[in-house]
Amino acid sequence: MTSTVTPEDNTPADRRDSRLRQDVGLQGALRGSFDRIRRGDLGLLPVIIGIIVISIIFQSLNPFFLSSNNLANLLMESTAIGFMALGIVFVLLLAQIDLSIGSVSGLSAAIFAVGFVQNGWPILPAIIAAVLTGTAIGFIYGQIFNRLGVPSFVISVAGLLGFLGLQLYVLRGQGTINLPFESPLVWFGQQAFIPATVSYVLMATVGIVFYLVRTAKSARRKKAGLSTQGQIGIVLQAVGLIVVLEFIAWFLNQSRGISMMFSLFVATVLVAHFVLTRTQFGRAIFAVGGNPEAARRAGINVNAIYTSAFMITSTLAAIGGLMAAGRLAAAAQSSGGGDTNLTAIAAAVIGGTSLFGGRGSAFSALLGVIVIQSISSGLTLLNLDSSIRFMVTGAVVLIAVAVDALARRSREASGVA
Q: Mean per-residue pLDDT for 157-170?
A: 93
**CB neighbours (10 Å) of residue 208?**
12
| pLDDT of the residue at 103 | 94
The pLDDT assigned to 163 comes to 94
Lowest mean pLDDT among 26-35, 63-72, 192-201: 26-35
Residues 6+ apart with CB under 8 A from 68: 251, 252, 253, 254, 255
- What's the start-to-end Cα distance of the chain, in Å? 35
Residue (of 67, 59, 56) closest to 256 by Cα position = 67
CATH of 47-54+61-403, one of 1.10.3470, 3.30.70, 1.20.1530, 1.10.357: 1.10.3470
Domain borders along the chain are 47-54+61-403
In this prediction, residue 405 carries a pLDDT of 74
pLDDT at 272 over 80: yes
Q: What's the confidence (pLDDT) of residue 396?
A: 78
What is the rounded distance in angstroms from the CA atom of residue 321 to the CA atom of residue 344?
A: 12
- Cα gap 292→282, rounded to integer Å: 14
Q: Do 75 and 346 form a contact (C-beta atoms < 8 A)?
A: no
- On whether the CB atoms of residues 364 and 47 are closer than 8 A, the answer is yes
User: Which regions of 307-381 does DSSP assign to beta strands (E)?
Assistant: 330-332
Per-residue pLDDT for 3 more than 50?
Answer: no
Is the pLDDT at 324 greater than 60, yes or no? yes
Count Cβ neighbours within 10 Å for each residue of 248-257 and write b for 16 or more, e otherwise.
ebeebbeeeb
> On the CB side of 204, how many CA atoms lie within 13 Å of its CA?
7
Report pLDDT for 19.
60
Q: Which residue has the higher pLDDT, 385 or 152?
A: 152
Percent of the chain with pLDDT over 90: 55
Cα(317)–Cα(4) distance, rounded to whole angstroms? Answer: 54
- Mean per-residue pLDDT, 91-114: 94
C-alpha distances (whole Å) from 348 to each of 73, 88, 360, 399 are 21, 7, 9, 13
Read off the pLDDT band of 1 (50, 70, 90). Answer: very low
User: What is the predicted pLDDT for the residue at 22?
Assistant: 60
Residue 367, pLDDT > 60, answer yes
pLDDT band at 254 (very low <50, low <70, confident <90, very high): very high
Q: What is the mean pLDDT of the chain?
A: 87
pLDDT higher than threshold 80 for residue 102: yes
Between 140 and 40, where is the model more confident?
Answer: 140
pLDDT at 49 over 80: yes
Average pLDDT of the residues in 329-336: 89
Q: What is the DSSP letter of 150?
A: -
- pLDDT score at 2: 46
Assess whether pLDDT exceeds 80 at residue 209. yes
Q: Nearest-CA neighbor of 359 among 304, 411, 316, 308?
A: 411
φ, ψ of residue 114 to 5 degrees: the values are -65, -45
Q: How many residues does the chain have?
A: 417
Q: What kind and span of H or E run contains 120? A: none
pLDDT-wise least confident of 46-50, 55-59, 61-65: 46-50
Q: What is the mean pLDDT of residues 93-118?
A: 94
Looking at the predicted structure, is the pLDDT value of residue 8 above 70? no
Question: Can you tell me the distance from the alpha carbon of 393 to that of 371, in angstroms, rounded to the nearest whole number?
Answer: 9
Section 228-232 average pLDDT? 79
Confidence of residue 16 (pLDDT cuts 50, 70, 90): low
**What is the Cα gyration radius of the chain?**
23
Q: Confidence band (pLDDT; 50, 70, 90) for 153?
A: very high
Please give the pLDDT value at position 401.
74
Mean pLDDT of 327-331: 92
User: Which of 99-113, 289-303, 351-365 bottoms out in mean pLDDT, i.e. has the lowest?
Assistant: 351-365
CA distances from 43 to 35, 39, 46, 112, 394 (A): 13, 11, 8, 38, 21
